[in-house]
Amino acid sequence: AYGEYIKNELTQDEYLGEIIREKLIYYPTVTREAFKHTGRLTTAIESGQLFKDIGLPPLDPAVDRAMICGSPSMLNETSEMLDAKGFKVSPSLGQLGDYVFERAFVEK
């Protein structure tokens, strides 16, 4: 459902369509069923498969930024991975960092 929406509707958006067509790389992956890409996204990043599939170099804090959201365990795993790659988390709202994460599920 999301894939079709992104490919067929968002790309035609009056304001964002051009940017989406030129910049957005939609890479769906699932863990519980047969699909083109299977497994955890963090595994695809660590193994390099994600970058092989999309034709871009591995993550680099000198040029890349990340925004992550998901379950608390996914946030922890992804944060640890980014930290190990030299990314610095944004300490709080309005403060610069190499990545931010959805705090609504973490800070309760």
- pTM to 2 decimals? 0.80
The three-class DSSP label of residue 45 is helix
Spans of all domains in the chain: 1-56, 59-108
Nearest to 29 by CA among 3, 59, 58: 3
Per-residue pLDDT, 107: 54
Measured CA to CA, the distance from residue 53 to residue 49 in angstroms comes to 6
**Average pLDDT score over residue span 32-48:** 93
By percentage, how much of the chain surpasses pLDDT 70? 96
**Average pLDDT, rounded, for the chain:** 91
* pLDDT, tens only, 64-85: 999 998 888 889 999 999 999 9
When pLDDT is cut at 50, 70 and 90, the band that residue 42 belongs to is very high
